[in-house]
Structure 1
C-alpha cells in the first residue's frame, strides 16, 4: 500500500464526502421546514425508489469492479468498456421506460406515477455512469471520481435552494434538481473517461464473452448488495404500505439523519478496496485490527451527539418532533452499518468471498420479511418496525464479522459483545429516561468502554505507523 497515494486519495474523498455530509445535513434541516409533510414524503419516496433502480446493471459493473480492482487505468482494454457502456444505456432505456409505462397504466395515485417515472429516468442516467465511476475507483483515479460526486451534489443543492427561495416547494421540482445534478455528473464522467465511452467497439463475440464473465462474477455481489438494500427496504416498504406517505416521510427523515455519518465512513471503503487488493494477504489481519479501532472507538462516542441533536431538531422542526424519538432506535445503526460497509464488505470483496456475502445478506433479508410481517401486519406496531431496522443491521454485521474473523484468524467476539452492550445501553436509557439523565448515564458507560478498550487503543498508537509503512 503506497501511503502517500493512500493519503492523497483519502483527502479527495474526504472533501467530496464532507461536502456531501454538509449538503445532506443542510437539505435535511432546510427542506422539511419549507415544504409540506406530504410533499416531503413523496420526495423521500423518490429517493427510496432511486436506491433500487440503480441496481439495473445485471451485475456487469460489479463484475468489472471486482475483476479490474488494482489495475492501472492505462492498461484497460478500452473497446470492451465502450461497448459495455452503450449496452447499459440501451438496456436501461428499454427496461426503465417499460417499468414506467406499466406502472402508469395501473396506478391510481398520480403523484406516485410521477415519482416512478422520474425514478426510471434517473436509472437511465446512473446505471451506465456506474460503470465509469466503478472503473475510476478500481484503477485508483479517486480524484476524478470525487469530482463527479462533488459536481452532482453542488448542482443538486444549488437548484433546491434556488427553488425554495422562489417559493417553489413541490416535490417534483426537488426531484428535477436531483436529476439535473446527475445529468451534470454524467457529462463530466464521460469527459474524464471519454476513452471508455467514445471510441472503437469490441467485436460482438468478445463483447458477449466479456459481459457474460462480468455478470457471472458480479451477479453475486449485485444480489448481495441488493439484498443488503432490501434489509431496510422491506421494512420501509411495509411502513409505506401500512401507514400514510406522511408517516413514511417522518420515518425517512430520522433515517436520513442517522445515515449522514455513514456518508463519510463509506469514503474510506472506496479507497481501501483497491489499496487492499495490492496488499500482501498476510498483512490483512493487522490492518483490519488497526482500522477497526480507528472506526469503532469514535463511533461509539458519536452516539452522545444524539441528545443535543434531538433537542435542536425538535425545536427547529416541531411538525416532526414526534418522529425524532425514533432516532433513539435508529442512531445506533451507524455503528453496525459503518463497520459493515467500510471494513467487513471491503475485506470480503478483497478476499473474493462474494458468495458468503450473498448468503449472509439473503439470510438477513429472510429475517427482515419475518419481522416486517410480525411487526407491521400482525402487531401494527410502528415502534417495533423502526427498531427492527437496527436489529437487522446488527445481526448482519455480527454474523459477517464472525465469519471474517475465522478467515483472518483474529479474535473479535469480545469487541462485538462490548459494542452490542453499548448499543443496548444507549437505546434503553434514550428511550426510557429523561434526556439529561440519559446523557449522563451513556457518557459514564462510554468512559468504561474506553477503559476496557485501553489495550486496543494502545496497540493502535504504538503500531499504526509500523503497519502502514510495511505496506509501501
Structure 2
C-alpha cells in the first residue's frame, strides 16, 4: 500500500477513533444527565446547547472563506503572517459582537431563566469560533490527528467535570453550562498552543489585510449562510415548539434529536477526511468516486434504522419520564439518513467543486418549507407530532434537492435510487406511527432485506472499488 493510501486510512482511523470516544461521551450526556437532573433543569441545559450551536453565525463567513481558500494545502505552504494576524483581528471582532449581544440581552424584556443562558451563549461564542479557526487550519492542511485531538478533548474534560459535579450531588443547570464553557476554554488554549508559530508570526496591519478579510467574508458568506440555514431548518421548529408549548416539551424533543445525532458522529468523522482528499483528487474522477461512495454509504445508513427498535425498548425502561420523546424518535430517526448524506457527500462535494450557491439553494427551499410547515402544524393545527414530521420532511427535502443539483453538476442520474430510498424511509416512518412495534420491525426489516438483495451486486462491487481506490495515488 502506498504512502497516500496509508495516510488516508490513518486519518480515517484518527477521526473515527476520536468520534467513537466522543460518541461514548455523548451517550453518557444524553442518557445519564436526564437521569440525574429534573426535566426542567435538563430542558434549560438543552436550551443552552441549542442556542450555542448557532454561534457560528457570528463569524459572518470569515472562517468559511479561509477554509475554502486553503483547503488541500500543506501547513508549510500557508502564509502564517496573514493567517496569524487575521486570527487576532477575528478575536477582537468576536469580543465586540458578543459584548453588543450581551447588552441587548440585558436591555430587552427576556424571561429571567433565559438571561444567564443567553449571556453564557455570548461568552462561549468567542471560544467556539476561535476553536473553529484552529480546527479549520488543521483540517484544511490535513493535520487530522491534531484536528481529532482538539475537536474531542473538550468533551473529555467536560465529562470529568460533569461526573465530579453530579457525583457530589450537583443538579443546577447553570453549573452544567459553566463547566461546559470552562472545558471549551481550556482545550481552545491547548489548540492555540498547537499553532503558536502561526499565531505569533509577524503581525500585519489591519489596513494591509482589509482586502483579504473582505474577500474571505465574501467567499465564505454563501457557505456560512447555507450552514446557518441548514441548522435553522430544524431549529425553527424547535424554537416554535418551545414558544407554543413548554421548555419541558422542548427538552423532550431535544433528547430525541440528541440520540439521533449520535449516529452522525461517525458520518462526520469520515467527512472531515474527505474534503482535503477530494480537493487533491483529479476532477475527472469525482463523478465516478461519488457513485462509489454513494453506493456504499446509502445501504449502510439504512441498516442503522434497525437499531431504533431495540434502542427504543432500552430507553423507555431507562428514562420513563421521557416516554413521549421516544414516540418522536420513531419519526425523527430517518434524519440520520438525510443529514448524514447531506453532510458526508452532498455538501462536501459541492464545496470541493466550488458550488456553494447550490448548497444555499437547497437550504433556502427547505427552510421556507420548514417555516411554513412549522407555523401551520404548531399554531394552526396545534399538532406536536405534525411539527416533528415537518422536521424530518424538511431534512429530506434539503437532501433530495441538494443531491439532484449535485447530480446535474457532475452529470449523474440518481432519480431511480432516490425514489427507492424514499419509499423505504416512508415505510419506516409509517410503521412506527401506525403499527405495533413488532409488526413495524418485521415490516421494515423485510423491505430492507429485499432492498439489500436487489442492490447487493452494486454494493459489493463498489465496496471493492473503494478499497482499490484507496491504493491509487490521488494526484494522478
What TM bracket, shorter-length normalisation? over 0.9
The corresponding residue for 1:19 is 21
TM-score (norm 1): 0.98
Residue 422 (structure 2) pairs with residue 424 (structure 1): no
- Cα-to-partner distance string for 1:123-162 (whole Å, 9 max, x where unaligned): 0111122112101100001111111122111001111111
Structure 1, 261-270 or 198-207: larger mean CA deviation: 198-207
Instruction: Give the conservation status (yes or no) of the 8 Å contact 1:55–1:127.
Output: no
The answer to whether the aligner puts 1:159 opposite 2:161 as a matched pair is: yes
Output the CA distance in 2 between the equivalents of 1:294 and 1:111: 47
Cα displacement (A) at 1:108: 4.2
Taking only aligned residues, the RMSD between alpha carbons, in angstroms, comes to 1.3
Q: Which runs of 4+ in 1 moved over 6 A?
A: none
2:231 pairs with 218, 229, 232, which one?
229
Does the aligned pair in 2 maintain the 1:279–1:471 contact within 8 Å? no
Match of 1:253 in 2: 255
- What does 1:108-123 align with in structure 2 at a 5 Å threshold? 108-123=110-125
- Aligned residue in 2 for 1:171: 173
- After superposition, give the CA deviation of every residue in 1:403-439 in whole Å (9 maximum; x if it has no partner): 1112222221122112111111101111111111111
Structure 2 distance, partners of 1:436, 1:154, is 38
Aligned equivalent of 2:212: 210
Which residue in 1 is equivalent to 2:338?
A: 336
User: 123, 126, 142: which is aligned to 1:124?
Assistant: 126
Q: Is the Cα contact below 8 Å between 1:88 and 1:127 reproduced in 2?
A: no
Count of residue correspondences:
472
**Distance (Å, rounded) in 2 between the aligned partners of 1:471 and 1:367:** 43
- In structure 2, the residue matched to 1:436 is 438
CA separation in 2, counterparts of 1:462 and 1:16?
A: 26
- Give the conservation status (yes or no) of the 8 Å contact 2:240–2:378: yes
User: For structure 1, which segment, 158-167 or 194-203, has the greater mean C-alpha deviation from structure 2 after superposition?
Assistant: 194-203
For 1:381, the equivalent position in structure 2 comes to 383
Please name the residue that 1:290 is paired with.
Answer: 292
Structure 2 CA distance, aligned partners of 1:137 and 1:294?
24
- TM-score by structure 2 length? 0.97
Return the match for 2:150 from 141, 148, 151: 148
Structure 1 residue aligned with 2:408: 406
Offset of residue 365 of structure 1: 1.2
Structure 2 residue ranges without an equivalent (≥5)? none
341, 358, 361: which one aligns with 2:360: 358
Contact 2:81 2:198 in 1 (8 A): yes
Q: 1:96 to 1:204 in 2, by over 3 A?
A: closer
Is the CA contact (8 Å cut-off) linking 2:232 and 2:367 kept in structure 1?
yes
Deviation (angstroms), 1:251: 0.4
Query: For the Cα contact (< 8 Å) 2:8–2:470, is it kept in 1?
Result: no
Residue in 1 aligned with 2:78?
76
Partner residue, 1:99 = 101
Which shows bigger deviation, 449-458 or 66-75?
449-458
* SS of 2:413 mapped into structure 1: coil
Which residue of 1 is the match for residue 43 of structure 2? Answer: 41
Which residues in structure 2 correspond to 1:257-276 (within 5 Å)?
Answer: 257-276=259-278
Is the 1:227–1:361 Cα contact (8 Å) retained in structure 2? Answer: yes
The question of whether the paired residues in 2 share the 8 Å contact of 1:107 and 1:113 is answered with no
- In 1, Cα distance between the equivalents of 2:473 and 2:434? 48
Query: Residue 313 in 1 paired to residue 310 in 2?
Result: no
Q: Secondary structure at the match of 2:59?
A: coil
Post-superposition offset of 1:109: 2.0
Whole-Å separation in 2 of the counterparts to 1:108 and 1:336: 35
Whole-Å separation in 2 of the counterparts to 1:147 and 1:26: 19
